[in-house]
Structure 1
């Protein structure tokens, strides 16, 4: 057991909230507000005769209102006074280790005695257990379970409530990854990026002499023709050269970033990211095959991964 958990476990059994009487007696106006809000039409809560017809001495408060009668007043809450030094020390201990956030997780009520208008209710709260460190969707933390005991003026136990909260260290907010830089689109290259959105890798071809070219351009470098069309690449090639980028870290990219010049089996070359491979696994002349990076709804780019080995 860690030193911190031992420190937390020392709080078990200690009184978190000393016996505290509720600010108001059980009363009909608050019961009426409650049942109207909850939509509970049981007449025993507001009508003495209806309650007597069930064997009771008169109207009773809904059992779930036990907690209502002991709630701190608005003035008390605004004063921000902790119920006890134990409470102050427990929160300080958790805060000191980064467990600064809290969320209620469950409440288990058990009822024993019905309350009637005129009753006064007290609350005593004891720390029952504190869990070891747990990993949750909200973050790492400790579950703190307390036992609340509600009593009436005759010192009868009206209800008990096991109240569990998670005191946790919130996960760091994830910064948006950001978008990859946008390509500079023009009349000479827009067709290529539009094909990429359809997961088609095309190569520009001179319509006059058949020469393939990339990067795209308006004129054939071999015959100077301005006429062109495209052919679809097979997606197979080899690594002609590569670099591994570590810095600067530009939003939209994962690092370390392998950027390779790929020689397609059609003979043209293009620069693309490598996927499915670590930097130390990349080699010159490595066979690769086409992959796709759907960076965002407006940008899809070809990438290359190690070619699958053929089984014989």
Structure 2
């Protein structure tokens, strides 16, 4: 394990997502009963309350809906400032993620982004976002 990196909690509802990142797939939970998409994942569909979960593989593209530039306090394993965006995926759900290689004065609402991968170690690959 890499020291200093804050690791996500991986449980029954999110394991499929993290298994996807390991193979370069951005997976979105989908209800097999009604087709509704959901992120973050959870145990039951918010539309029909079914427990029949599956997933779709997203294209990995989206638009900045909102963002914040984190300047303080320090974050283990990260160099400040960190640009964090709420990304409207083209599939219709929103996801929070770190935007890299975009300066804090360049990021803007409406900017197109594409997913990329930050392989931390053999057990963890994090999705990151870059300008499309």
* TM-score when normalising by structure 2: 0.94
Alignment partner of 1:202 is 2:27: yes
Q: Which residue matches 2:88?
A: 263
Contact 1:195 1:201 (C-alpha < 8 Å) held by counterparts: yes
Q: Residue 251 of structure 1: which of 76, 80, 85 is its match?
A: 76
CA distance in 2, matches of 1:298, 1:252: 16
Q: 1:247 to 1:178 in 2, by over 3 A?
A: farther
Q: Which residue matches 2:5?
A: 180
Q: Residue 224 of structure 1: which of 49, 57, 76 is its match?
A: 49
CA distance in 2, matches of 1:295, 1:285: 29
Q: Which residue matches 1:189?
A: 14
Matches within 5 A, 1:110-121: none
Indicate the RMSD between aligned Cα atoms, in angstroms. 1.2
Q: Which residue matches 1:213?
A: 38
Per-residue deviation, 1:297: 2.9
Pick the structure with greater CA Rg: 1
Q: Which runs of 5+ in 1 are unaligned?
A: 1-176, 308-312
Per-residue deviation, 1:247: 1.1
Q: Which runs of 5+ in 2 are unaligned?
A: none
Alignment partner of 1:293 is 2:122: no
Alignment partner of 1:272 is 2:64: no
Contact 1:275 1:291 (C-alpha < 8 Å) held by counterparts: no
Contact 1:179 1:296 (C-alpha < 8 Å) held by counterparts: no
Contact 1:239 1:262 (C-alpha < 8 Å) held by counterparts: yes
Matches within 5 A, 1:78-89: none
Per-residue deviation, 1:197: 1.1
Aligned residue for 2:20, secondary structure, equals: helix
Aligned residue for 1:285, secondary structure, equals: coil
Per-residue deviation, 1:296: 2.8
Normalized per residue, the structure richer in helix is 1
